[in-house]
Amino acid sequence: MSSPAIERILRGPSGLGTSGLQFRPQAPADEVSAPQAPTPEVPVEVVPAPEATATEATTVSETAAATPGFRVPSAHVLPVPTAATPTPAAAGSAAGAPSGGKPRSGDPIPGLYHHPIAEPDPVRVEALSAKLKAWAMEEIELYPPEWEKDFNGFSTGRYMVACHPDAPSVDHLMLAARLMVAENAVDDCYCEDLGGSPIGLGSRLLLAHTALDPLHTTTEYHPGWEASLSSDAPRRAYHSAMEYFTRAATPSQSDRFRHDMARLHLGYLAEASWDQADHVPEVWEYLAMRQFNNFRPCPTITDTVGGYELPAELHALPAMQRVIALAGNATTIVNDLYSYMKELASPGLHLNLPVVISEREGVSRKEGYLKAVEVHNELMLAFEAEAAALAVSCPVPTLVRFLRGVSAWVDGNHYWHQTNTYRYTLPDFW
């Protein structure tokens, strides 16, 4: 099943942008055309993906004939082939342990399997950051002035440009950026260090979720709910960000996002219940919570940000759901690893994968951290193998493009964590 093109599909940006899976033969080096000019900015518009052309259908058929185990699936049966587990040497990099102990500021975690990317376009980063800040500070008054430094330090603009290299415009990037800022506001103000608490969290999250998934009630009680949408910063952010998103997305894409946000909120509640009970979960229980309290809502909207739609029936495939879940799980463990020192400085026992492994398996903090790196690497390799297998079994252009977009998000997420030295430092475990 394996081929260089399939192995490359989920490596994300290589320094020249996101590399696509091409079923056509590549042109000789002396026939490669000069780089094209950047795509001009265009208004937000979701463009339905066209049907495969006759040429695309022919090249897919040619690939099927030439690739062992590859077949073009029928319209109703989309098999999930078993993919061989790739080795770290197949793609990306797993940085070796530094010789001088603690990694330098901005270095990747030694031994972490990842794919380096090129620096995001600074012009686009600056334009997005300015537009996002105006929305947050002026349009919805999300944060008081004294929080401005942390807002800037989060570098959401650089994050989103790195994660969505195929976004047609800054307006498309704003769809993702607003939602990420809103999600962070809910996390900070309801759950974490800017006034958050596990006590009463369920009620706060439920009411905030109605800013994403509107309440349908009677005429008498509707005004009370509507007024509540502006009652605090997180709800203002959710409501505004979702209004922008639904204007650009299809109904199916909007509903998909709401569903993934419900998953996220369920994960918040599980973590809060453990906090209230001073309970350290088993490692598998923690990983189950992290499958819900994770980054999944971000890569799942990659098609909306890219200006196209992955049809609902393809998004709902069990194989696609597994790919998206693995991507969310791997990227969330990246967060656990890079934010380890930041969380160590917070009061009490802050649960993250290294800490849970250390507590539950009776090993040192260093051993728990290094084992968490191994867990991440296994998840990443499984994500890449499953995505490559799905691209082969169902080579629909929009599906392959979506997989490529999720891969780019995974790589951009690592890049942001690695380079955000305002927020993160690494432990001295090597």
Using one digit for the tens of pLDDT, what is the confidence trace for 366-393? 999 999 999 999 999 999 999 999 999 9
- Most confidently predicted of 44-53, 69-78, 327-336: 327-336
Structure tokens given for 262: 């419900």
Supply the pTM of this predicted model.
0.80
Give the pLDDT mean for 70-94: 36
Identify the band that residue 46 occupies on the pLDDT scale cut at 50, 70 and 90.
very low
What band does 352 get if pLDDT is binned at 50, 70 and 90? Answer: very high
Does the pLDDT at position 20 exceed 90? no
Q: Round the average pLDDT of the chain to a whole number and report it.
A: 82
Cα 159 to Cα 156: distance, rounded to the nearest angstrom: 5
pLDDT at 90: 38
% of residues, the chain, pLDDT over 90: 70
Segment 264-296, tens digit of pLDDT: 999 999 999 999 999 999 999 999 999 999 999
Q: Which of 43-57, 237-251, 329-343, 382-396 has the lowest mean pLDDT?
A: 43-57
115 versus 79: which is more confidently predicted?
Answer: 115
Region 30-49 average pLDDT: 40
pLDDT digits (tens, 9 = 90+) for 199-217: 889 999 999 999 999 999 9
